[in-house]
Structure 1
């Protein structure tokens, strides 16, 4: 795991995005899911304490669910590395996950009888926006979470 975090700019009000990123090796398995949730929680705590940002408990829980679902998809459908990037702005957090699979995910229609494959459906319901885009290698899935209720 390799991690980097931007600083907030000292005592100045937060006027620019604050970013953090971590790379994972998907061969390490399901432990990455809890590691990614911890990464999000730590980032949001840093945002609150060092950057004087307002982050609700609900926003933290939502962001952890979102990263958990997106990293789970990377583990299930891609091989090799997985990158998680976080970007906080004044009132939102973008959670972006890159993986090596070029296949863009599809949000399925709700089906209470279906076992599994509800991850993106959940993410879409919780977030302001969700988008997927092809990259030169693999793809990015980005979701935007409100930081306040």
Structure 2
């Protein structure tokens, strides 16, 4: 999906991510926990917001099912590695990558000639239930 235009594209990206995971469950019989769906929408929102806010031109978002995760990749036109700021409860804003790193099983940035790809893998299962916690 292409992220362009105003910030309404972020809401559309969250909606498309939910539809993608719902279809993966119903059409491909992929087990997707409700918690995983929510985390995926959060990661899509944070990566999409960063791409729209910090890079000129269009950004691309790609979702793929890989083994037991959904891979969320945001591609933009700025070939600069983003910074995850140290935790600071007094800071307002700039927590997006902290959130993504905390939500993801795996998180990495790949610089390219034309920009960068930021990728996060979100577990499709709900670890809280595996640990015996209730949602």
**Is 1:42 aligned with 2:19?**
yes
Separation in 2, partners of 1:144, 1:89 = 9
Q: Secondary structure at the match of 1:38?
A: helix
Deviation per CA, 1:37-86, whole angstroms, max 9, x where unpaired?
A: 01110100110010011000000000000010000001110011111111
Separation in 2, partners of 1:78, 1:108 = 18
Separation in 2, partners of 1:90, 1:105 = 27
Unaligned runs of 5+ in 2: 127-135
Query: What is the TM-score with the length of structure 2 in the denominator?
Result: 0.90
Shift of residue 146 of structure 1?
Answer: 0.2
**Is 1:81 aligned with 2:61?**
no
Separation in 2, partners of 1:67, 1:120 = 11
Q: Which runs of 4+ in 1 moved over 3 A?
A: none
Separation in 2, partners of 1:121, 1:79 = 23
Aligned-residue Cα RMSD (Å) equals 0.8
Higher helix share: 2
Shift of residue 90 of structure 1?
Answer: 2.9
Separation in 2, partners of 1:128, 1:24 = 24
* Count of residues in Structure 1 that have an aligned counterpart in Structure 2: 126
**Is 1:24 aligned with 2:15?**
no
Shift of residue 87 of structure 1?
Answer: 1.1
Q: Secondary structure at the match of 1:79?
A: coil
Query: What is the TM-score with the length of structure 1 in the denominator?
Result: 0.82
